[in-house]
Structures are given as structure tokens and as C-alpha cells.
Amino acid sequence: MIKPHGGDILKPLFVEDSEERNRLIEESASLPDLLLNSAAAANAVMLGAGYFSPLDGYMNLADTLSVAENMKTNNGLFWPVPCVNRTDDISRIEGSSVIALRDPNVTGNPVLAIQNIEAIETLDVEKINHITKQIFGTLDIDHPGVKTFKNSGKYLISGPIRVLNYSYFKSEFSDTFRTAMEIRNQIQKNNWKTVVAFQTRNPMHRAHEELCKIAKDSVNADGILIHMLLGKLKPGDIPADIRNAAIRKMVELYFPKNTVMVTGYGFDMLYAGPREAVLHAVFRQNAGCTHLIVGRDHAGVGDYYGPFEAQTIFDSNDVLDALDIEIFKADHTAYSKKLNKVVMFRDVPDHTKEDFVMLSGTRVREILSAGKDLPVEFARPEVAKILMSYYQQEGSQ
């Protein structure tokens, strides 16, 4: 099986031993505590689940700057996006060496992890802007990732952590949330040697379905990992439970049995385009996948990134040298009226825009909200029905 990033073994930070975990939970009640923001909580979940292996916790300022500028930590570990814990209020933890990190996304704010503090450093506006520009390529506050990152706090709290739970992901998505180790174990159990990962934060339409099948056939894969983001999205995006139901229905009806694993991971969307695409590759390698599908404007938003920037970043020597996972570069995919099947644009140079069945997200919402059917060339009827129910419910509120 493909090796994890940065070493021979996966290094999840979740405390597996139940006695040790319960002891730490009890001890955490007497520790100084910090209420995390959602981004830092998501980082903790990813560290706990092994997706961010081999990191041992949150980065300090030197590593944060180095990762932002060079995609490497100071000790040379390749990493595309800083893994940080930031806050604007350190009054409860100043002078402490060990603190409890509280979950902002669960009622009662239970302790999510325990952190050993190595440093508390201050980020001035100039540094925040510099790091933001390096990661996102823009300082435009209308970019949802930029807005979140710039407002995450001026203090950077670094140090290793021990993770005590997986936030709301285990309870709300018990059939879908899986750690990197759990996915690796299932891949091994399935006896899959070659595995293609598909990243999604949206429901999957016919084009996405066929893209997975095209990629699987192209690399002669044994199976597909449909790996959906279960964390926070920008306003207007479809909630994770609806996406989960829609994707599962599509896989149940339209993929051959035992060729797809439908799973999810607990992270908030960054919308960081090329940098986030590389991060996706890192943690899919940690999950045991040999290939990742990277499509047009992968992990992008609006018009901030070129259509293929998230693919060309993988051509740089630093990325090629650092990762073992391979990239399946996908073009825009849609149903061809000429050929009566879904195709990638690059494979049909004789086609014009009118030869494809394509709908904007806005038009899809309008059609479904009105209770009308989507074209079967665009979406599977059973999937569209789930989405229609969601949009009609939203419209009635």
C-alpha cells in the first residue's frame, strides 16, 4: 500500500487508549481553556484522524511563514497550507504550559483536545496579509477563505496536541465519517491496490459520476474513494447531510457493487484553489489512495483562480518530489448531445457549447425549487428528488 506522507507509518493524534483518554478528559476540567475557532477545531480533527500525518500539532510562526512562502516547514517537511491555532483572546491561557481546547461546534463546548504550548506569538496585520496572500493568492475580503483566515485571530498558539474526540462528525455522520486509518484498513480489506479519490463538497451529478468512472478506467483502479467534506462551507452551499444522502443514492443505483467507498472527513472548506488541491492530495495519500482526481478550478471559488491552476501546481518539482500520490487531471465534463454520453471537453474538440447539456448552479436551484425535474442527462432522477425536497423545504421557510 502507498506510504503515508512524510514517513513509513501514519501518525494520528487521537488518544486511542480509552483509559488514558478518560484520564485526560478528567484532567482537562482543571486546565486553563481556550475556545477554538472552527478552523482550528477542524485542524484538530484532521490531526486526530491521521489525515495531517506526520504533523504533531499546531505550527509556530516560523513554520507558518515557511509553509506559506515555500510549502515546507523549517525542517523541510513538505506541507501546502499552515496548520494553525489562532485566537484574539489569550487572557485565560497566558503563562500556561498545557491547555484544554474547547470545541466551538458542539453544544456545551466540550474539550476537543489538549495542547502543550510551545509558544504564543503575535501576528501583526502585515504578517497576516502576507500569509493570506501566499495561501489564497488574493487579499479580497469577498473571498470566503480570505475572510475567515484574516479574521481568525492575532495570536498564534503552537505546540503538539492530543485529540480526545472527533467533534460532531462521529455522531452526525456515523455512517460516513472515517479516519485515515479506517480508510486504509478498508482498502486493505478490499484488497484494492490502486484507488482513485474523488473530492467533493457538492452533490454529484451525472458529470461527476462519469468522471469517477472515466478516471477509474483510465488508471485501471480497483476502487473509488468518494470522499466528501463534512465541515463548514460558505453560505448557500448544500449541507453535508443532504449531500451525503444524494451521493449514497447515486452510488447505490449507478455504480457496480463493491467498487466505491463513500466516506467523509471533518474539515472546513478553505476555498484556497491550488494550495488546497495539494492539501487534498496530501491527506488522500495518508488515507491510502494512489490517485486523486483534480478537475477544473478544484477547490476554487468565484473567479479567483484560473481553470487549471490547481492542476499545474502539481507539475512543480517541489510537489512532484514530495508526494507519491498521482494526479488524474480532469477537464470540464458534461453530457454530449452528439454522442449521447458524458464526455470530457478535451476529448471532443469538435463540440461547441450548444452540444452539451449544462446548467448553472443558480438554474439548478430554480428548477428544483419550482418542483420541476432536471434533465436526466444532467442528474440522476433519484438524486434530483433528494435535492428537490431540500430546496422546496428551504423555500418554504
What's the rounded Cα separation, in Å, for the pair 87 and 245?
Answer: 35
Residue 298's nearest CA partner among 335, 320, 271 is 271
CB contact at 8 A, 349 and 329:
no
Mean pLDDT of 16-24: 97
pLDDT digits (tens, 9 = 90+) for 88-122: 999 999 999 999 999 999 999 999 999 999 999 99
pLDDT at 237: 80
Question: 196 or 332: whose pLDDT is higher?
Answer: 196
- The pTM for the full model equals 0.94
Beta-strand ranges (E) seen in 205-271 are 223-229, 260-265
Identify the three-state secondary structure at position 253: helix
Q: What angle do CA 342, 346, 348 make, to 5 degrees?
A: 60
3-state helix, strand, coil in the chain (%, to 5): 40, 20, 45
pLDDT band at 396 (very low <50, low <70, confident <90, very high): low
Domains in the chain (CATH in brackets) are: 18-167 (3.10.400.10), 176-265+271-396 (3.40.50.620)
pLDDT digits (tens, 9 = 90+) for 338-354: 999 999 999 999 999 99
Task: Tell me the mean pLDDT in the region 322-339.
Answer: 95
Cell representation of residue 2: 502507498
- Cβ within 8 Å of residue 54, ≥6 positions away: 4, 5, 6, 7, 11, 77
User: What is the DSSP track for 22-48?
Assistant: HHHHHHHTTS-EEE--HHHHHHHHHHH
Q: Phi, psi at residue 56, to the nearest 5°?
A: -110, 5
User: pLDDT-based confidence at 361, cuts 50/70/90?
Assistant: confident
pLDDT confidence of residue 32: 98
Catalytically annotated residues: 201-202
